Amino acid sequence: MPPTTGDPARPPESATAGPLSCPASSEADGGGLVQVTPRALAGPGEPAAAMEVLRQAGWRVHDDELANTHAWSPDGLVYVGFLPEGDAGQPHHIDDADGGASADWAASAVVPTRRVLWQVRAYRHPNAARPVWTATFDEATPAELVATFLAATADPAPLTRDPLDPAGMLDHPSTQPDTAMSP
């Protein structure tokens, strides 16, 4: 396997060099609203739509005195917070303005941050002190994408897992790490 260079979370340079094959665009409709493509660049949107997904799924949703919105799943195992006023939200690191972290940043360089606006936490039982997993979305994440994530989180349908292969690696050998050795 050839060595890889660059950030594995970003497409290869050839995929990003030159003009975009599908540039971000927006077109006004008759009501003055715009349709933005690609969706991932749509901007924050309307957070109420995301919380409505949880209300429709029977979650307990309430606003606090700071204007943050908190939601708990019916079984008390999943928490969602829309935290425009900060509450438990913490800043987290984002890449520099040119889209990639610079290898030669000085130790004293200012690291840009975005405020966590959405926080999702799942617990093994309602009184657990630590979550099993967390997900956060910053202030630039489109609310429609958060709503899609929340809809999947609130879906009561079970997921099927093989107890001997919880990651599903045995059914999909192409996703297993390459462990073959050449002579």
* Higher pLDDT pick, 73 / 96: 73
In the predicted structure, residue 52 carries a pLDDT above the cut 60: yes
* Higher pLDDT pick, 160 / 126: 126
Alpha-carbon radius of gyration of the chain? 21
**Tokens 């360089």 map to which residue?**
109
E strand or H helix at 90: none
* Higher pLDDT pick, 33 / 15: 33
Averaged pLDDT for residues 40-53? 83
Mode of pairing for the β-strands spanning 69-72 and 78-82 = antiparallel
Domains of the chain: which residue ranges?
A: 38-96+111-155
In the predicted structure, residue 76 carries a pLDDT above the cut 70: yes
* Higher pLDDT pick, 174 / 121: 121
Going through the chain in order, the beta strands assigned E by DSSP cover 25-28, 34-37, 60-63, 69-72, 78-82, 92-93, 113-114, 116-122, 133-138
- What's the half-sphere exposure (Cβ side, CA atoms, 13 Å) at 117? 18
- Taking the C-alpha atoms of residue 118 and residue 143, their distance in angstroms, rounded to an integer, is 9
Vertex 57: Cα angle to 122 and 79 (nearest 5): 25
In the predicted structure, residue 6 carries a pLDDT above the cut 90: no
CA torsion through residues 141, 71, 119, 168, sign: negative
Give residue 34's pLDDT.
76
Of 150, 120, 132, the C-alpha closest to 52 is 150
In the predicted structure, residue 9 carries a pLDDT above the cut 80: no
Question: What percent of the chain lies above the pLDDT cut of 70?
Answer: 58
Per-residue pLDDT band at 69 (split at 50, 70, 90): very high
What is the CB neighbour count within 10 angstroms for residue 151? 14
CA torsion through residues 121, 50, 53, 35, sign: negative
